[in-house]
């Protein structure tokens, strides 16, 4: 069975022709799937019942099941644990901002990158998400919360640039003028720093925002908490970031999870300022979310203090608003829990 929601219009046209149906039917089907967002072939009411049966026999419209839904009592944040068609789980977080609803989606079941402070690293890697599984996190959340999403961040479980092909297809389907029509200016991809893929993404000139997870500004220290740094050290990463800015004109956001006694001293701020000098950079500071298997911790106050250090050094930084702190909105924690229970 083909995963019909992962197909672009051209692929659908080819598949429809192979079924000896007229090519224009593909457009109708694509519209039902990506504009009307129906979940059953039987709902495609302008197609003959014979064609609908044919579709059912050849294609599958994938679905996600809500395994868990946690609603914050402190703000409007909602966290979903979705069950995928093969029984695996991923997390999606819905957040309310001044200008609308933003969703944080997962791109892989687990992650290979092994960042020390991250819950996804502990739960282990299983597989890439398909394009449809990324789209469905948006559709299912919009349906369940009865809202329209205006911003998307690929900052959930997984490393988006380690699932490059499916993520690129996701962007293609998301922004298709014949389908979902979402401007990629409202999309942010976060990466731990897969250098060749950052360059490849730059060349695609998608208009999206790139966020780079830095967390340490010296190779020696970054090697300890982010194994990816051994493969792509900071100088190579910075060169790729400069290339991204030169090609796209889009300023890069650097993510820095403040961890007390690990990366929050004035000397750490100086190292960071030196690394980012001569760049149009913006630093996003996040007090690290404590994962219970690890000892890292921070408060909003320590993040604010580090922000002041950076300001003294001429680096533009903000402390990210903490949302959903009562529902473990940091991604990876829920999936890890459910997997532990199963074992």
Q: Is 163 in the site for ligand SAH (CB under 6 A)?
A: no
Report which of 187, 96, 98 is spatially closest to residue 145, judged by C-alpha positions.
96
- Applying CB under 6 A, among 44, 291, 319, 323 the residue interacting with ligand SAH is 291
- Applying CB under 6 A, among 47, 61, 134, 257 the residue interacting with ligand SAH is 257
Which residues have a Cβ under 8 Å from the Cβ of 124 and sit 6 or more positions away?
110
Nearer to ligand SAH, 37 or 112 (CB): 112
d(Cα 287, Cα 39) in Å, to the nearest integer? 40
- Applying CB under 6 A, among 61, 94, 202, 288 the residue interacting with ligand SAH is 288
- Applying CB under 6 A, among 163, 216, 263, 289 the residue interacting with ligand SAH is 289
- Applying CB under 6 A, among 255, 262, 264, 268 the residue interacting with ligand SAH is 255
Min dist CB 292 to ligand SAH, Å, is 11
d(Cα 140, Cα 72) in Å, to the nearest integer? 19
Stretch that binds ligand SAH, among 16-24, 137-145, 184-192, 318-326 (CB under 6 A): 184-192
- Applying CB under 6 A, among 32, 101, 117, 306 the residue interacting with ligand SAH is 117
**Which residues ranging from 208 to 237 are in contact with ligand SAH (CB under 6 A)?**
213
Q: Please give the structure tokens belonging to residue 93.
A: 């977080």
CA 119 to chain centre: 15
Stretch (H or E) spanning 228: helix 228-231
Q: Which residues of 28-57 are buried (b: 16+ CB within 10 A; e: fewer)?
A: ebbbbbbeebebebeebeebeeebbebbee
Min dist CB 272 to ligand SAH, Å, is 15
Nearer to ligand SAH, 59 or 125 (CB): 125
- The alpha carbon dihedral of 21, 134, 38, 173 has a sign of negative
Q: Is 258 in the site for ligand SAH (CB under 6 A)?
A: no
Q: Please give the structure tokens belonging to residue 116.
A: 């020390």
Burial label for 150, CB within 10 Å (0-12, 13-18, 19+), is middle
Q: Is 252 in the site for ligand SAH (CB under 6 A)?
A: no
Where in the sequence numbering do the catalytic residues fall? 91, 331
Write the Ramachandran bin of 196: left for phi over 0, alpha for psi from -120 to 50, otherwise beta: alpha
**Which residues ranging from 38 to 67 are in contact with ligand SAH (CB under 6 A)?**
none
Stretch that binds ligand SAH, among 115-123, 144-152, 268-276, 303-311 (CB under 6 A): 115-123
Nearer to ligand SAH, 132 or 289 (CB): 289
- Applying CB under 6 A, among 136, 152, 155, 273 the residue interacting with ligand SAH is 155
Nearer to ligand SAH, 141 or 191 (CB): 191
Q: Please give the structure tokens belonging to residue 220.
A: 């020696």
Q: Is 118 in the site for ligand SAH (CB under 6 A)?
A: yes
- Tell the residue number behind the tokens 């993510």, with chain if given: 255
Which residues have a Cβ under 8 Å from the Cβ of 117 and sit 6 or more positions away?
215, 225, 257, 259, 288, 291, 294, 296
d(Cα 167, Cα 60) in Å, to the nearest integer? 20
Min dist CB 151 to ligand SAH, Å, is 15
- Tell the residue number behind the tokens 């890069």, with chain if given: 252
Contact set with ligand SAH (CB under 6 A): 113, 115, 117-118, 155, 159, 190-192, 213, 255, 257, 286, 288-289, 291, 330
């Amino acid at each position: 069975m083909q995963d019909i929601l992962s197909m672009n219009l051209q692929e659908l046209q080819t598949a429809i022709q192979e079924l000896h149906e007229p090519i224009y039917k593909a457009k109708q089907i694509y519209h039902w799937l990506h504009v009307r967002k129906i979940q059953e072939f039987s709902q495609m009411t302008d197609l003959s019942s014979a064609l609908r049966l044919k579709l059912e026999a050849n294609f599958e419209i994938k679905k996600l099941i809500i395994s868990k839904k946690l609603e914050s009592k402190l703000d409007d944040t909602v966290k979903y644990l979705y069950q995928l068609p093969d029984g695996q789980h991923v997390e999606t977080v819905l957040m309310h901002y001044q200008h609308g609803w933003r969703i944080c989606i997962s791109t892989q079941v687990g992650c290979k990158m092994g960042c020390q402070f991250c819950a996804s690293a502990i739960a282990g890697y299983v597989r890439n998400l398909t394009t449809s599984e990324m789209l469905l996190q948006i559709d299912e959340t919009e349906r369940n919360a009865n809202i329209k999403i205006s911003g998307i961040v690929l900052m959930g479980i997984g490393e988006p640039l380690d699932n490059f092909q499916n993520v690129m297809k996701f962007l293609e389907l998301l922004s298709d003028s014949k389908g979902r029509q979402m401007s990629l200016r409202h999309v942010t991809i976060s990466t731990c720093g897969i250098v060749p893929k950052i360059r490849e993404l730059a060349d695609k000139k998608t208009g999206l925002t790139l966020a780079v997870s830095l967390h340490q500004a010296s190779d020696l220290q970054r090697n300890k908490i982010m194994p990816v740094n051994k493969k792509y050290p900071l100088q190579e990463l910075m060169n790729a970031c400069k290339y991204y800015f030169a090609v796209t004109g889009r300023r890069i956001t650097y993510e820095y999870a403040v961890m007390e006694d690990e990366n929050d001293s004035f000397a750490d701020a100086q190292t960071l300022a030196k690394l980012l000098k001569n760049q149009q950079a913006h630093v996003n500071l996040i007090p690290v979310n404590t994962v219970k298997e690890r000892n890292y911790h921070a408060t909003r106050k320590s993040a604010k203090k580090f922000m002041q250090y950076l300001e003294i050094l001429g680096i533009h930084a903000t402390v990210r608003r903490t949302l959903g702190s009562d529902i473990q909105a940091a991604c990876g924690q829920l999936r890890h829990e459910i997997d532990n229970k199963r074992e």
